Structure 1
Amino acid sequence: MASAAYMQTPICFIQNTSDGSLRVNPDAVDILASNNEPVVVVAIVGLYRTGKSYLMNRLAGKTHGFSLGSTVQSHTKGIWMWCVPHPHRLNTCLVLLDTEGLGDVEKGDQKNDSWIFALAVLLSSALVYNSMGTIDQYALEKLHFVTELTELIKVKASEDSHEDDEIEYLKFFPTFVWSVRDFSLELKIEGKVVNQDEYLEHALLLKKGTSKKVMEYNLPRQCIRNFFPKRKCFVFSRPVVGCNLHVMEHIPEHQIDVSFVHECQRFCTYIYETSQPKSLKGGHLINGRMLGTLATNYVSAIASGAVPCMDDAVASLAKIENAAAVLQASAYYRQQMEQLVETPMETKELSDIHGKCEKGALEIFMQRSFKDQNQECQKQVVCDLAHQYLDICGKNERASMEKCNNLLQSLSIEMDQKLQEGIYTQPSGYRLYAEDRNAMVSKYHSAPGKGIKAEVVLADFLKRKQVEADTILQAEKQLSESEKKLASEKEKAALMEQLNKAGEEELLRLKQLRQDEKRSNEENLWQMKLKMEQEREEIIKEQQMALESMMTEQKAVLEKGFQEKAELMEEQIQQLKDQEQQTRAGGLVNVIDFMGILRSIFSAARAFATAFIGEDGE
C-alpha cells in the first residue's frame, strides 16, 4: 500500500455543514482512493464530551490526533477519519472514525444525529458506543438511535416489508462494543461478582409485560439484542482524579490511574484482534477506495431524502469496481504480452504465452469484481482478451512474413545477379539454376526464427519464380523435349508439395486457435466456478453466524421465561435454515448456466478468428 494512504493526522471525512446537511470531503475520498488494502473500520459514537476522541487516539497508538476539545461544546463536527497501519494484521489498514458528539444542544437537529449514527453503523466493522457513569435506563434512553435503525437503513432494495427483517440486519451489522467511562461501582449483581460482559448482558435483560412502560423499557434493549448479536463491554475508571478529559492528552501515562491504563490496553487489544476487515455480502473485502465510494453513495442517498440502502450502495459500487476490473485485467494482459512476445514466434510458443497471460488477467478480474450480473463484465474481459490475442496473432504473422520475405530476398541476390548475367541461359544453365535454388531453399529452411508464415511465404516465392524457372528450362539446349517435360512435371510437383506445406501451416494455426478457445473456455469456467464456490461458502458462513446468534438469543430469552418471544424467534431461525439450504443447493445451477454464457462468448471470438484466417482454413 502506498504511504500516501496512511495519515499523520486525522481529516474530516463526512462534513456536517452549517445548514445541517452532510457532505463527503473529496480530500478524504482521495486519500482512501490510494488505499488498495483491506480496511478494518472502527467507529465510535456517543454523547458529546464523553472522551470518545481519547479512545480513538489510543487505538491509533498516539496521544494526540483526534481533537479532545476544551469546552462543554461539541468539538468534533461530522465524522473524522484517521488511516493508520493495523498493528496486528499485515497489509491491512485500520480506519478510525471519530463521530460528532450526539445530543449537542447547540445543533438542535436530532435527525442529523440519527444520520451520523446510521453512517457509523453502515461503514464500520466495529461500533463503539461511549457513555458515562453506568449502563442504566437513562444511558439506554440516550441510545434511542438504535431503535430507529430500521427507519434509517434498508438492507434490500425490495419494497416488500418482509425483506428487511431482523435477520438481514444482524448478518451485516458491526460488532457492538459498549465503553462505560468514569465507572465507579462494584461489578456485582445480587451480591455476585460479574465481569464486564455479564454486566452488559444483565443491563440488556428484558422485562415481562405488555404495558406501555414495559415496552418502552424493552425497546432499546431488544433492538441492541436483535441488531448486534456480537457484544462486548469495557468499564473504565476515572483516569485522573480531579482532572477534566480535555487535558488528558497532556498528562504523562505514569500519572494516569493504573486500572484505566490497563483497561485501555485491553480495549485496544480486543479491537485489534477481533475486529474483522469490512466486507460485503459474499465475503468480498472492502479496501479504502471502496469505503470512500460506499460513504459517498450513502451520503448522497441521505442528501436526496432517501433512506440509505445497503443493496443499492453495493450494486452501485459493484458497477464501478467491475468496470475498473475489466480495464485492469485487459491492461495486465496487454502489458504482459508486450513484455513476453517477441515477434515472429511459432504458433505453440505464442499460444502458451497467451494462456499464461490470460490466466493472470482473469485472476485479477476475479479478485476485484463482485456481483457481476449475468457475467456481463466477464464477457467484456473474454472478448477483449480474444480480440487482443487475435490482433497479436496478426502482428506475429505480418512480422513472420516480413522476416521471411527479407530472408528470401537476401538469399536470392546471387541468383538474381546470375540471371542478369545470362549464366542460367548458357548450356547446363537449368541444372545450375535448380542447384542454386535448392541450395537457397535449404539455407532458408535452416535459418532460425522465421515464425508461423515460413512455408506460406516460401510457397508464394516459388510460385512467383515458376515462370522464371520454366523460361530457363525451355531455353536449356542440352535437354530433350521429353527431359524438359519430365523436369517441368517435377517443378510442378515440388511447387504443389510446398503449397501443401503452406496449407498445413495455415490449418495448424486454425487448429491452435480452436485449442486456445477451448482452453480459454475451460479457464473461464474453472475460475468462475471457484469464485462462485468461495462466495457461496462466505454466504453460508454469514447465514450460519446469524443462525448461531439467533439461537443463542433464543436460549437467553427462554431462560428468562419469554416463551412467546422464543416462539417468534423460532420462525426466524427456520427461515435462516431454509436460506442456508437454498444457498447450498443453488451453486450447481449457476455453474451450468455459466457454461452457456461462455459458449456464446466464444462463438463471437470464433467468428472473428474465422474471418481473420479465411474460409480456406477450414
Structure 2
Amino acid sequence: MASAVYMQTPVCFIENSSDGSLRVNPVAMDILASNNEPVVVVAIVGLYRTGKSYLMNRLAGKAHGFSLGSTVESHTKGIWMWCVPHPLKLNHSLVLLDTEGLGDVTKGDQKNDSWIFALAVLLSSTLVYNSMGTIDQYALEKLHFVTELTELIKVNASDDFHEDDEIEYLKFFPTFVWSVRDFSLELKIEGKVVSQDEYLEHALLLKKGNSKKVMEYNLPRQCIRNFFPKRKCFVFVRPVGSNLHAMETIPECQIDESFTQECQQFCRYIYETSQPKSLKGGHIINGRMLGVLATNYVSSIASGAVPCMDDAVTSMARLENSAAVLQASAYYRQQMEQLTEMPMETKDLSDIHGKCEKGALQVFMQRSFKDHNQEYQKQVVCDLAHQYLDICVKNEQVSLEKCQQLLQSLSTEMDQKLQEGVYTRPGGYRLYAEDRNTMVSNYHSAPGKGIKAEVVLADFLKQKQVEADTILQAEKKLSESEKKLASEIEKAVLMEQLNKAREEELLKLKQLRQDEQRTNEENLRQMKVKMLEEREEMLKEQERALESLMTEQQAILERGFQEKAELMEEQIQQLREQEQQTRAGGLVSSIDFMGILRSIFNVARALATGFVGADGE
C-alpha cells in the first residue's frame, strides 16, 4: 500500500554551507523514506527577492510556510522541501522545492548557483522560473544557467557530449513554466493582443545570422527551446501598491484581485498538468526514491563529478531491486506463517504456497525495475523455493512426530498385554492380530496426521514384524500350515503398507514437479506483464519527446530556419526508430527458472527417492 508522511511546514532538503558545499539534510531524507506514494515535484528557481516562496506557499494551499524574507538578502539557503497531499491526484504527493535565490552578490560563487539550478532540473517534473518585469534580453541573460546544462548534467557515463544526448534531455527534462512578476505592460505584439504563452514564444524567437551578436542573442533562447520544448507562461501584476515585504501579513482582501486570479490559474495549471517525477526510461518514482536520487546527485557534485542520469538510474535500480527481493521474501514468510497450520496435506500446502508465491512476486514486481537478465528475480525464485522446502521439511517433521506419538498412544494397551503374556497364551495370536487391526483402524480414522501418515505406519509395522512372527510361532492352536498361511498374510499386509508409503512419497515428488511448473509459469507471466508495463512507459516517454520535437520543428520552420529544421528532422527520425525498436522488442529473454528450481528441489527428491529405494526391497 502506498503511504506518505506529510509535513506541516517545510524543511531544508539540500543544505548549502558557507563554503558552497552541498549536502542532503538527514531530516528531509527520513521524511522522504516514509513516502511510498508517486511524487509530483515542482521546483522554482530565479533571482533572489523575486517572490518565489510566495508562489510555492500558494501551491501548498497555505499563507505561510516557505520563508518570504523582507530584506535585500537572499533568504532561502539551499533547497527547501514541502511535501503535501496532491490536491487532485489521489494517493500522490505534491513535493514543492523552493530554491535559494540565484545571483546573490554576497555569495560570490556563480558555480554554486549553477549546481542549485541543475539540481532543480534533475529533481523536478515541473520547473518554474520566476523573474521580474518583462521577458527581455536582460531577463534571458540572467537565465544563463540554462546554457550550461550540458556541462552540469550528463546523460551517460561517457565524458563526451553527443548530439544524440539532446533527445535524452527531451525525454527527461521537466516542463518549463516562466512566471513573470510585477508585469505592467499590455499583452500586445505589433498592436495585436496575444496570450501569455504567445508572449513567451515571441520572446524566444531566434534571429537569423551568424554574427557573434546574433549567436549570443540566440544562445539562451535556443537552449530553452532545445531543453524545454513544453513551455508555459504566467504573468502577474503587482500584488499590492507597497509593503511587498509584508506580503505574509497582508489580508487577502487587500491584494489586487487580478493578482489573486492569476495565482489561482497558476496553481490550477500546476495541479492539473504536472506529472509524477520519472526516471530516464519512464519509471515513476516515489518519495523514498526521490531522496535517494537527490543523494546520488549531491554526492556526485561533492566529489567533483557531474551528475549522470544513467548512473543515477543504475544506482537506484540496484538499491530498489535489492530491497524488492527482501520485501518479497518477507511477504512470503509472513503470509505462510499466517496461513499454514501444520501438519498439512501435500496438496493443501502446495496451494497455499502457490498463492503466497504469487503475492510475493507481485510485491517484487511492484518495486523492482530495470532488472536486466532478471538477476534479482532469480534471487526471489531461489529464496522462495528454499523457504518452501524448509516449510515442507518442517511440515514433514511435525507430521512425523504427531504420527509417532499417535501410534505410541494407540499401542500402549497392546504393549501392556504383551508384557503380561496375554498374546503368548493359546489363541493369543488371533487376539494380537485383532488388537493390531483395531489399532491400525483407529490410526487411520484419526484426523490431522499430515503427509507422513503412511510412511510412519509402514515403519511401525515393519518394526513390529519380528514381534508378530514370534507370537505366531508360539501359537499352540494353529497348525504349521495355518501358521505358514498367517505368515504370508502378515507379509502381504506389510507389503501393502509399504506400497502406500511409496505412493505417499511419490505423490510428494509429483507435487514438487507441479510446483516447479507452476512457479516457472507464474514467474514468466508476471515478467511479461512487467516488461509490457516498462515498454509502455518507454513508449510514452518517446512519444512525448517526439511530439515536443515536432512542435518545435514546426515553429522553427515558420520562422524560416530551414537548416535547423532539417537537423531536427534527423532527431525526429531517430526518435521514430527508437519507438519502432521499442515496439518490436522481444518481451521475454531466455530465462531458465525451471533449471534454478530443479537444482534446489533435487535435494528433496533425493531424500524421498532414498526412502522409496530403501524400502523397495
Q: TM-score if structure 1 supplies the norm length?
A: 0.97
2:174 aligned residue:
174
User: Quick one: distance in 2 between partners of 1:555 and 1:601?
Assistant: 54
3-state SS in 1 of match to 2:589: helix
User: Which residues of structure 2 form unaligned runs of 5+?
Assistant: none
3-state SS in 1 of match to 2:128: strand
- Write out per-residue CA displacement over residues 357-398 of structure 1, whole angstroms, 9 at most, x where no aligned residue: 000000000100111222111111110100000000000000
- Code of the aligned partner of 1:66: F
Q: Classify 1:521/1:617 alpha carbon distance in 2 versus 1 (closer, same or farther; 3 Å).
A: farther
- Code of the aligned partner of 1:608: V
- Write out per-residue CA displacement over residues 319-354 of structure 1, whole angstroms, 9 at most, x where no aligned residue: 111111111100000000000001100000000000
- Write out per-residue CA displacement over residues 107-147 of structure 1, whole angstroms, 9 at most, x where no aligned residue: 11101000000000000011000000011111111101011
User: Quick one: distance in 2 between partners of 1:607 and 1:466?
Assistant: 33
1:241 aligns with 2:238: no
1:593 aligns with 2:583: no
1:11 aligns with 2:11: yes
User: Quick one: distance in 2 between partners of 1:268 and 1:4?
Assistant: 22
1:613 aligns with 2:602: no
Offset of 1:163 from its aligned partner?
6.8
Equivalent positions of 1:133-212 (< 5 A) are 133-159=133-159, 161-162=161-162, 165-212=165-212
Contact persistence 2:42–2:127 (CA under 8 A): yes
- Code of the aligned partner of 1:177: V
3-state SS in 2 of match to 1:45: strand
User: Quick one: distance in 1 between partners of 2:89 and 2:331?
Assistant: 28
1:356 aligned residue:
355
Instruction: Please provide the CA RMSD for this pair.
Output: 1.4
User: Quick one: distance in 1 between partners of 2:140 and 2:575?
Assistant: 29
Contact persistence 2:293–2:312 (CA under 8 A): yes
Contact persistence 2:517–2:594 (CA under 8 A): no
3-state SS in 2 of match to 1:280: coil
Offset of 1:164 from its aligned partner?
5.4
User: Quick one: distance in 2 between partners of 1:2 and 1:584?
Assistant: 30
1:131 aligns with 2:128: no
Equivalent positions of 1:195-234 (< 5 A) are 195-234=195-234
2:299 aligned residue:
300
Q: Classify 1:604/1:335 alpha carbon distance in 2 versus 1 (closer, same or farther; 3 Å).
A: same
1:271 aligns with 2:259: no
Offset of 1:269 from its aligned partner?
0.8
User: Quick one: distance in 2 between partners of 1:167 and 1:617?
Assistant: 65
1:575 aligned residue:
574
User: Quick one: distance in 2 between partners of 1:170 and 1:274?
Assistant: 17
Contact persistence 1:329–1:381 (CA under 8 A): yes
- Write out per-residue CA displacement over residues 557-592 of structure 1, whole angstroms, 9 at most, x where no aligned residue: 11111111111111111111111111112224xx13
1:344 aligns with 2:340: no
Identity %: 83
Q: Could you tell which deviates more after superposition, 607-616 or 71-80?
A: 607-616
Contact persistence 1:156–1:164 (CA under 8 A): no
Contact persistence 1:510–1:617 (CA under 8 A): no
Offset of 1:198 from its aligned partner?
1.0
Q: Classify 1:241/1:116 alpha carbon distance in 2 versus 1 (closer, same or farther; 3 Å).
A: same
- Write out per-residue CA displacement over residues 257-295 of structure 1, whole angstroms, 9 at most, x where no aligned residue: 000000000111111111111112343221111111110
1:63 aligns with 2:66: no
Q: Classify 1:3/1:342 alpha carbon distance in 2 versus 1 (closer, same or farther; 3 Å).
A: closer
Offset of 1:86 from its aligned partner?
1.0
1:102 aligned residue:
102
1:557 aligned residue:
556
User: Quick one: distance in 2 between partners of 1:42 and 1:599?
Assistant: 46
Offset of 1:165 from its aligned partner?
2.3
- Code of the aligned partner of 1:613: A
Q: Classify 1:282/1:615 alpha carbon distance in 2 versus 1 (closer, same or farther; 3 Å).
A: farther
Q: What is the count of residue pairs matched by the alignment?
A: 613
3-state SS in 2 of match to 1:30: helix
Q: TM-score if structure 2 supplies the norm length?
A: 0.97
Contact persistence 1:42–1:124 (CA under 8 A): yes
Offset of 1:419 from its aligned partner?
1.2
2:315 aligned residue:
316
1:512 aligned residue:
511
User: Quick one: distance in 1 between partners of 2:491 and 2:112?
Assistant: 91
3-state SS in 1 of match to 2:565: helix
Offset of 1:161 from its aligned partner?
3.5
3-state SS in 1 of match to 2:476: coil
4+ residue stretches of structure 1 with deviation over 3 A?
1-4, 158-161, 611-618
Contact persistence 2:150–2:161 (CA under 8 A): no
